[in-house]
């Protein structure tokens, strides 16, 4: 490869670096934060699902499911990864 050929690849390399820092890296950070939030869910947390349902976690069934109370005596099971936001966190009791 001579200098002319290498000079043609520099813009492509710069475009990849820009895409990495503006698109790929922030997306990976969001995925990591969401995974940590889902793993930290506990009983009593008020949450919002991706479908817009607001409820309170009654119990965490396993690593993938949780039971949420959406109204008085109305409980639904949801996949934990569909929980998009924790509105309020319960304080751990000593």
pLDDT tier at 74, thresholds 50, 70, 90: very high
- Residue 82 maps to a domain: yes
CATH number of the domain enclosing 80 = 2.30.30
- Residue 94 maps to a domain: no
pTM, whole model, 2 decimals? 0.73
Cβ neighbors of 61 (< 8 A, separation 6 or more) are: 67, 77
Residue 83's domain comprises 3-88
- Residue 93 maps to a domain: no
- Residue 62 maps to a domain: yes
Tally of structural domains, the chain: 1
Asked whether 57 and 66 are in contact (CB, 8 A), the reply is: yes
Interval 18-69: pLDDT, tens: 999 899 999 999 999 999 999 999 999 999 999 999 999 999 998 899 999 9
């Amino acid at each position: 490869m001579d200098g002319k050929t290498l000079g043609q690849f520099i813009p492509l390399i710069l475009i990849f670096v820009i895409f990495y820092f503006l698109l790929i890296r922030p997306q990976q950070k969001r995925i990591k934060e969401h995974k940590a939030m889902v793993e930290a869910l506990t009983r009593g947390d008020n949450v919002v699902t991706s479908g817009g349902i607001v409820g309170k976690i009654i119990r965490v069934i396993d690593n993938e499911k949780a039971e949420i109370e959406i109204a008085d005596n109305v409980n639904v099971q949801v996949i934990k990864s569909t929980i998009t936001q924790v509105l309020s966190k319960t304080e751990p009791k000593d």
